[in-house]
Amino acid sequence: MRFVFKTSYDADIRWFKHGAQMFWYAILLAIMLAVPLYFMATGDPYLLGEFTSVLIFAIAGMGLMLLTGQTGLVSLGHATFMAMGCYANVLLLNAGVPWLISFPLVGLLAGVFGTIIAFPVLRLHGVYLALATLAMSILTGDFIILGEAWTGGVSGIAVPDISIFGYGVNKYANPYAYYYVVLAVVLIVLAFYRNLLRSPTGRSFAAVRDSEISAQAMGINLTRTKATSFFFSCAAAGLAGALFGHNATYVTHETFDVVMSITLLLMIVIGGLGFIHGAFLGAIVVGLIPVLIANGRSFLATTFDVNINIPGLESAMFASILIGFILFEPMGLYGRWLKIRTYFELFPFYRKDMFRRQKSYLKTERVK
């Protein structure tokens, strides 16, 4: 195992801890770039579409992770900002705005809308904040129906194709190009996320998450910090919603429902709250479960002539996995990997209580 001895504060804000870590991330990037080549050789783009969906969920997961994992503000309404990004993108494209302009613009609009929503909502704490955002998510479908002239209402609306300098990109016509577009957005959002955490703003997010009273004592403006977190989080959700619309090619008022918001929260809890890796690990789990259920049904039907059509099976599996992680591994998948890695690094001096859960609030904060 490699031990890093830090001799300056610059070591805490480097992109990579050491050269070996940079090497492995470069290998991972090369694999991601080569994924379409494999499916192009096999001639089966179905699984490539699933990979693309995972990357889109990872963008939304990074947005929610910034708000919940880094700032400590629980949100059950991020499907609302995804819906806003999707429908705003459709309206701008139908109005003749180029995609390279409309796409970042919808992220900005979603961020501004999220900031406006944040100011009255941020007076709430804990479960009350979660309930307020949940109510917003529940009302999203109704607002989409009321805005039928722009959203298509119950009938829905078709999402135009992506056009980059005259080159059309469609999920079904050229899935490989669409994959690279989504991957490019993921890398841009990831780079921004990583740099934000290294900045004073990102450190203020962590201070507010750990203790609001201590953050105020250090001179951090709580309202401004939380509103900034909402802005960046909702902007990422808006970008993910725009790409999700292109992935679905047709959206209705049921596309961005409350289940979507709960799925996003489930995703970052499973992946590991407070870790960038957790957004990707959670997206992989959320993206693979429907595929595993479908393949399992097909296997049972063809091998044992057993047809399993249980309503709500997918939701039940999601709920069971969430409860299991909360009870047995609250640090998520990435937290489990950290424990395994630490065990081998410190063996035979590793102790079981090293990762014991501790209260993250002060006695003076319990009255909230």
Q: Which pLDDT tens digit goes with each residue over 4-20?
A: 677 777 777 777 777 77
Query: In Å, how far are 46, 95, 199, 271, 282 from 334, measured between CA atoms?
Result: 28, 43, 23, 6, 9
CA 364 to CA 314: how far, in whole Å? 42
358 pLDDT band, cuts 50/70/90, is low
* pTM of the predicted structure, to 2 decimals: 0.88
Once rounded to an integer, what is the mean pLDDT over residues 328-350? Answer: 81
- Residue at token pair 């640090």: 331
**Residue 366: pLDDT band by 50, 70, 90 thresholds?**
very low
Kind of pairing between the strands at 167-169 and 162-164:
antiparallel
Instruction: For the beta carbon of residue 214, count every other beta carbon within 10 angstroms.
Output: 14
**Cα–Cα distance, 247 to 73 (Å, whole number):** 29
List own/partner pairs for 296-299 with CB under 8 A and 24 or more apart.
Answer: none
Nearest residue to 263 (alpha-carbon basis) of 54, 91, 17, 13:
54
Q: Parse the chain into domains and list their residue ranges.
A: 20-258
Where do the H-state alpha helices sit in the chain?
19-42, 46-64, 78-94, 99-121, 126-146, 148-151, 175-198, 200-210, 212-217, 222-248, 258-271, 276-303, 313-328, 332-346
The answer to whether residues 66 and 233 touch, using CB atoms and an 8 Å cutoff, is yes
How many Å from the N-terminal Cα to the C-terminal Cα in the chain? 44
> Rounded to an integer, what distance in angstroms lies between the CA atom of residue 290 and that of residue 314?
7
* DSSP label of 305: -
152 has a pLDDT exceeding 50: yes
pLDDT digits (tens, 9 = 90+) for 170-229: 888 888 999 999 999 999 999 999 999 888 999 999 999 888 888 999 889 998 999 999
Q: Which residues pair with 157 in a beta bridge?
A: 251
